[in-house]
Structures are given as structure tokens and as C-alpha cells.
A and B are shown apart, each in its own frame.
Chain A
Amino acid sequence: MTETMTETTTEKSTDPSRDNDPANETEAPKMLLARMAEAVYWSGRYLERAECTARIVQVHTDAHVDMPIGEDVGWEPLLAIAGVDTEFGQRYPSVSGSEDRRAAEDDVVEFLLHGEDNPSSILAAVSAARENLRTARPVVPREAWEAGHNLWLNCSDYLDEAQSRKGRVQWLRRVIDGCQRINGILLGTMTRDEAMSFLTIGQNLERADLTSRVLDVRSENLHPQRGDDPYVEVHWMAVLRSLAAYQPFRRAMPARPQGGSTLRFLLQDDRFPRAVSACLTETRSQLKGLARSEEALDACADASMLVASAAVPRLTLGGLSEFLDEVQVALDEIHHQIDQTYFRPTFEGWQPQSAAT
């Protein structure tokens, strides 16, 4: 049953200077191609984008049902969170701003789930995550690639089901479960190497970005003058839920969900993995393990300081949107530094004629 090595009859002998003595084994040189690093980083970002967007749509559907007719905020905020209000306006010029909310719901949800002109749709994010995992196959566990591929198959196969509210809930559940499955596989089976660091950084930067966007858009609808309004609480509960933060918030904060406490939790609670500061802490710790990360670490420290410095109760009275814009700029800067340092590096010592490929 065991394979045999057949002696060959080549005329030349092996180069005697070569040394393949197993006793001489050294650790394989650590190496990660710049292109692979970029692919795993974007795998992380797109997976997180798909999952977060799915959660946001999911929770909005639930919360929408709780709101009295006429009081709800409609479906447009979802477009703002995803950053695709302009694209949506181009796709559905007659619908935006329309009074007919039911039509808007179907269009908005379809656009967010799989709109063809929406580069940030859940399906587009899942598809991009799969493509990047495929490129990164050599550096991610086989199961992770398969899970990413399956998620994409499932999302495509069951697209029709997402038409109705009921089917939509199931479809979104598939996306969230599929993303969580990949996270589990990575956590349980992937070597903690540089590739894992880039994947984790990608996930955390995307997560921080989406948390800040959710806060930005949701705070626009805050009515401080109606502090006793029961719907304010419902509103903030929905915000927390859309970031899977409701139960953690309850355990961490004695207060009922209000603007100030919610903001503090989602911005500054270092123990909750979707809080902006926690994402930055994780990013920093991953960056520390990489060579040449000084500039990215500086950008990360700047962002952390900015978030820590937020005067939360006062921000709810004004200036929150401007502050969150600053946070997003700071997050972009970290991305920019990583991109320049690792994905598009210029190496010293390259002869110009050799580098011109």
C-alpha cells in the first residue's frame, strides 16, 4: 500500500554542494506576498461589511414594526449608513423622497441586499469577500475558503426568497451565520501569522467604520427635547441591536439606553468588540506584530486619542456629526498608511530597469 520510490537512471548525479539533510532543517522563512496581504485584508473588510449591513437591515425591519405609523423614520437612513444614498437616487429617481413608504421599503431593501448598481450591497460584499478569499487561498485555511464560497452560493441561490419580509429575515440570517462561521473557522484553525493580522485589521477597521456610520446617521433623528418619549428608547435599543450590542450594553451600563450612554458604550467601551475604541485597540495590537508599522501605528494612536477624548454627553447636544466625521477621517488614515506601507511598497535597492514591470 505504501508508495515506492523508483530508482532513476539519470546520467548526472545530484549537485553534491546542496544540503538537504533533514537534521539541518531550519524554520521556513516567513513570507507574505504584498498581493496576498491585500487580499486577506479585503476579505476581512468585505466579510465585516456584509455582516454589519445584514444586521442593520435586519434590526431596522424589526424596529420598523414597533413604530407607530407615521412616526417611523422610513428606510432612507439605511442608505445613508451604507453610504449609497447617491447611487440609490440615481437608480430610483422617482422613488427617493416619495411619500409612498411601502414602495420605498422594497426598493431600498432590494438595493441594499443585491442592487445591481450598488457596489456596497450585501451580495456584492459577499462576492468580493469570496473573490479575495480565493486569491488568498494559499494563506487561509481551506475550510475558510469553502465557507466563503458557500456563503456566496447560498446568497445567490436564495435571492428570490429575500423579496418578502419573512424571507428577507431568513436570507439576512444566512449572511450573518455564514460570516460568523468563517470567523469561527479562522479563530479555531488559522495560524496566528501575518496573514491573520491583516485579516483581523481589515475586519476591525471596517467594523469601526460601520459603527461610527450607524451612530452618525442614527443621531440625526435624535430629538433631545422629547426626552421622555418611549420611542427614543426604542430607537436607541434598535441602534444597539443593529450592532449586536444590546445585551452587552445592558450588562455594562446601569442606565436605560439613551443617547449619551449608548454613544459612550459604542465609542469607548474597550471590552465590547464592536465599539470603536476596542476595534482600534485590536488593530494596534496586530500592527505591533508587523515590521515597518510605525506610521500605521501613529495613525492608529491618533484615532484612539480622538475617540477617547470625545466629550460624550456634550456631543449629544451638538457637534456629534462633525466629531464622527473626524473619526472616519482618522480611520481612513490608518487604512492609507497600511495600504502604502504593505500593499504598494517601494523597496530600496531596486534597480530601475528591474523594477519596471
Chain B
Amino acid sequence: MSGRRSGPDAGQEAPAWPSYDPDGFYDELVGPGGVPRPAAEALWEHFADLGPGALNERQEAADREMRAIGVTFTVYEGSTGRDRPWPFDIIPRVMPSDQWHVIEAGLVQRLSALNLFIDDVYHDQRSVSSGIVPSELVTGSPNFRRECVGVDPPGGVWAHICGSDLIRDADGTVYVLEDNLRVPSGVSYLLENRIVAKHVFPELFRHYSIEPVDPYIGRLAGLLASVSPSTGDPTIMVLTPGVYNSAYFEHAFLAQQLGVELVEGGDLVVLDDDCVYARTIDGLQRVDVIYRRIDDLFLDPEVFRPDSMLGVPGLMRAWRSGRVALVNAPGAGIADDKKVYSYVPDLIRFFLDEEPILSTVSTLRCSDEESRRFVLDNLEKLVVKPANESGGYGVMVGPQATESELAEAAKEIESQPSRWVAQPVIPLSTAPTLCEGEIAPRHVDLRPFILFGPEGAYVTRGGLTRVARRAGSLVVNSSQGGGSKDTWVVGTTGAKVPNQPAASNESTASKESTASKEPAVPTHPDPDS
């Protein structure tokens, strides 16, 4: 089919959705004046051809399919978990590939530096002795694992799988908001979204060059095999806390896609030879690589929390002796807290001797007296976050806080300044989203996944776009009503629809004079934690 309009409306120049107004925020698909961005032109026109009725039918079909193929996430109400169908908005977010490749290089650069930093933390601590980071950042962190000191994981890689949260400012600048180096989740939804999107808009996949997301699984399999301590074909397993974990769907999905076993702690045993074995129908079988989806502190009751029923006694012993590989390595979480975040540009310069490719949100450490004074004086304009947490817990959003919340935050900061950091409020970009039958702007973020092994790195093409479904809301996580979108990284030749001009390049640094009326605030609780 062609993207050309037909029928009585053909040739009209009115914008496809006259009512669509991003309201001063940067919109991912629609530029100033309601004109679609080059990479999104064909898509936008196609939607106008379809009209709201057909779009809504396709949304319903997508909802049915998500439900039918059993893509769920677990919501906890009290102690009982309930499986909910995964919320998926059919309107994709489109990103030109040249723009994406800059982001990709920036993410790999970041993860390279973070891995060097983690390895340094557990060895010489050159970054401390050279004055790049203060020693209390390392040894004073609750995420520092003494048990990891001196360990040499294969290739010196600690954080093999990273999910980074990206946001876009009102002027179009992309920022890294957070790196998740512990057990980042969401990649299964990214892959399932694409499967459903192909069924929803098969005609668009014919006209657009959309970069595939499927290679992730093969790359992940290669990465896991590459860290095996054994020669020959490695035995790889995914370790899950069990069916009651909120990310269990993903654990099962990944094991199935990788073609490996999904194990719980009770399926594994560490013997006196410091090797890990699985209880199989044929007896005990040696395990080489464990893609663990259990937090550090639950991994091994012999070393960490003795009450953990999820882990495997002796697992740390096996890992330290190099007889099993753990992905991600224990202790990697030292590099993903808010305070380390503020040092990442310095770490990139120190370890790689390069300038950071991606921007970070400027972060004030309240332990610094001058910064603290500024933060206390401007609380109502800032976002205050706990320094050692990953995810959105304990976040205080100044512009939305009540007087008493502000006073409480000020008290906390003054009594324990080193626990807190503050950031300016970033007005999150929006993307067109189907809301009650209409297309309306909703705030989005983006979580790409980065694989990093001794043999190279790989970044998903695009990522999981999370969208706040309530108007004006900035909460994108699914447990609080957030939805998701497929993310299309499209070739710079753009849509190959007749009469469509090739999409022009759009750089990450593209600036637009848009004044945000209301400040948006990034809050991104991590679904796994």
C-alpha cells in the first residue's frame, strides 16, 4: 500500500491531528507548529489516513494479543501479587538512526568507564588515590562489597548487562538519568513490544527501515558464553528468585529465548570443590555461568543475609575461586548510585582519556557545604534524591512538594548531608499516545540495554520507551499506571514511502526555542528493585 492519501481529504494541508499540542515540551514525533519530525513523517501521515477509529481498533487488537501471549507484569497489593497484562501503546516512538548511533557510542563509553571504575574499586583504587573520587564514596557506600576485593572476573568486566534510563530535555538534549548495573529488567518487554508492533502495523514495517531488536538474545548468549570458566560448551543458567518475583515473566522469557535452564536457589548446590552444580534428573551437573536475577544480598546466605532462602550457600566462594561466572558480578552496584553518577564524566576522562559523549544532569552533592547551602535555599526548584539508592525511592520533587515536605527534606539534608544529592528539574519530552480514543502528548523516558563483555559491547537498537499515561504525569513505571511503546530506530534515509522526502539528519544536540511552562520531573523507580 502507499502512504499517499486518498479520498476526499487528499491534498489537504492541515496537520494530521490539529488538536495535538505538546504544550512547550520537546515532542519525540512532532516538531514546532505541529509538523512531524522528518523520521516520523510517514508514520504521522499514515495515522491520519487510518483515523482515530482504525487506530483504536488496532490498539484493542494489540491489547488482546498481549493478553493472549501472556505478557504480564506483577502488581503487588499487600502481599498478594496479581498478574496484569503488559500495557502497550501502539504509537511507536521514532528515532533517527544517526542520532541513535551517537547515543549508542555514549552508552558504551559510559559502561566501559564504569567497569574500569568497579574493577579499580576492588583493586588498587587509583581513582581514589588520584583524587578523582573521595574515598568515602567507595568504602563508605552501602553498595561496596568487601567480599569482592581482589577478585578478577573474566576480562575485568563486572557490569555485563546495564539498563540506562535516558530522558530528553525541552531543547532536545538527551541525558543519562541513571545507570542500572544490578539486575536491570525490561528487555523482555522491549522484545515483546516489537513482536506485537509488527502485527499491529505490518504495512509500516514494509515501508520503514526499522533496525531489528531481536539480535539482543544472540548477543546475550554470546556474552554469557564468553565469560565461562570452562573450555568447551558452557552450561549457562538463569537464576530467579522464583515465580513470586515481579520480574518472573522476564526471567522465564529470557531462559526460554536463550534455550537455557531457569533455576531457583534450591536447584543449585555448591560442593567442597567450590563448583556449582544443578540438580538434574541425571544427577548433579556442573554449571559454568549464572545470569543471576537476584540481588547481591540474597545471593549467598553463607556470606550475605543468612536468612535468604533465595540464594545458594557457597555461591560467593565458587565465584571468588573463578569456578563459576556471575552476571552481573556481585559488587557492581557500587557504580550505579546517585553520588557516583555525578562523578561519571570525571571517571570517563580519567579511565578512558575521552570527553563524555552523553550529557548527565548536573548533580549537587549536599555533603559539599557550598552546594548544600544552595540546595537548601532553592529546595522548591530542585529534585532531591537519596545518594545510595538506585531507582526512584525517597525522591522529593521540589515544585510538587508541600510546605511540610520541603521542611522535612531540609531537616534530613541538614542532619545527614552526605545521604542526599539534588538535581535541577528536567522537563521530560513527550510522545503522541492513544488516550481514550484520542492522540495526546504524554511524557516518556527510554531504557536501552547495553551488553558489555570481554569480547565487545552491544546496545539494543532503541530501547524500552516508558510512558506516563495520565496527562501531565511524570511517573512512567508500570506498577503505577505507566505504559510502554515500541521504539523504532529508523534508517536516515527515512521512510521509503512514495512522495516522502528523505528524512534530514537530526542531531542529538538539536536546539529548539521551547520554553517549558510547567517543569517536568524525572522519577524512575526501577521495576526490579
Contact = CB atoms under 8 A, between A and B. Distances in A.
Nearest to B157: A10
Contact of B285 (A26, A31, A349): A31
Contact of A138 (B232, B260, B279, B283): B260
Interface residues of A, number: 55
Contact of B261 (A3, A17, A33): A33
Given A9-B352, A146-B70, A292-B282, A138 B491 contact: no
A23 interface: no
Contacts of B253: 137
Nearest to B454: A14
A5 B454 contact: no
B456 A357 contact: no
Interface in A275-320: 290-292
A255 interface: no
A139 to B, nearest CB: 8
Interface string B107-127: 010001001100100000000
A347 B284 CA distance: 7
Interface string B219-257: 100000110110111010010000100000000110110
B116 A10 contact: yes
A11 B235 contact: no
A1 B97 CA distance: 10
A121 B145 CA distance: 51
Nearest to B248: A134
Chief secondary structure at chain B's binding surface: mixed
Nearest to A12: B156
Interface stretch (B161-169, B209-217, B430-438, B503-511): B209-217
A254 B430 CA distance: 75
A34 B228 CA distance: 23
Interface range on chain B (Cβ under 8 Å from partner): 35 or more
A29 B256 contact: no
A170 B313 CA distance: 52
A10 B112 contact: yes
Nearest to B353: A9
Nearest to A36: B261
A25 interface: yes
Contact of A10 (B68, B225, B255, B454): B454
A11 B233 contact: no
Shortest 7 CB-CB contacts between residues of A and residues of B: A12-B156, A5-B456, A149-B70, A138-B255, A137-B252, A19-B231, A342-B281
Given A30-B282, A33-B267, A35-B279, 10 more contacts: A8-B112, A11-B119, A11-B156, A18-B231, A31-B285, A32-B281, A35-B266, A137-B255, A138-B252, A347-B284
11 contacts: A1-B211, A3-B458, A14-B154, A14-B226, A33-B280, A36-B261, A137-B255, A137-B262, A354-B271, A354-B272, A357-B265
Interface of A: 1, 3, 5-15, 17-20, 24-37, 134-135, 137-139, 142, 145-146, 149-150, 153, 194, 290-292, 342, 345, 347, 349-351, 354-355, 357
